[in-house]
Amino acid sequence: MNTRLLCLLKIRNVLLHRGQAAAYKRMITPCLVYGSKKIFSTSMGSPKGCDDAFIVYPENLDSLSAHFLEENEDKPCLCITKQCIFQVNKLKSQNQGYKYLKIEVDNGGCSGFQYNISMCDKITEKDILFTKDDVTLLVDEITLDMINGSTIHYKDEMIRSAFEVVSNPNASLNCSCGVSFSPKGSDIF
């Protein structure tokens, strides 16, 4: 079994054993939804320059395991900023090989886990699709469990320009570079 999945299951089981299931499930949905599916982050705050984000739900919800759906009462969601949508569309127009934005969580980084975000041209059977304005984000189930409710943003600064996962309700610590994080409850081991 995948190491990331085992770690997540251990964290989840410890939280449930400690009677913190309600707190864990509250972390999943940090957003308020209004009218045209515009969202405004509540407790997590929104990154500077991206007040407007859109909530998106998986297109292929039936591809999620029964275990994932059982553990997450609320429908899984990601938030996509206008800057992210604009940049993905720009990259797609510049390179025909770029069709999708793929987000993966891997072991590594200075906080334990790191985000790997890249453009790709293929959808695998494990990918869960989130689409808004002709922009499709791809994540696998393990990644979705770790970034559910997060905002995907494109940050353009003098030092660096990159896609990033911000306002992750499932992270307790974030690296200052925004690439790595530590999941909530990981300090219990």
Q: Which tens digits make up the pLDDT trace of 51-71?
A: 578 889 888 877 788 877 777
- pTM exceeds cut of 0.95: no
Percent of the chain with pLDDT over 90: 32
- Give the model's pLDDT for residue 93: 95
- Give the model's pLDDT for residue 32: 29
- 3-188: CATH topology is Hypothetical Protein Aq_1857; Chain: A; (2.60.300)
Q: Structure tokens of 54?
A: 């859109």
User: Exposed (0-12), middle (13-18) or buried (19+): which is 48, by Cβ within 10 Å?
Assistant: exposed
Domain ranges of the chain: 3-188
Helix 3-17 vs helix 21-28: angle between axes, to the nearest 10 degrees?
130
- Give the model's pLDDT for residue 31: 30
- Give the model's pLDDT for residue 47: 46
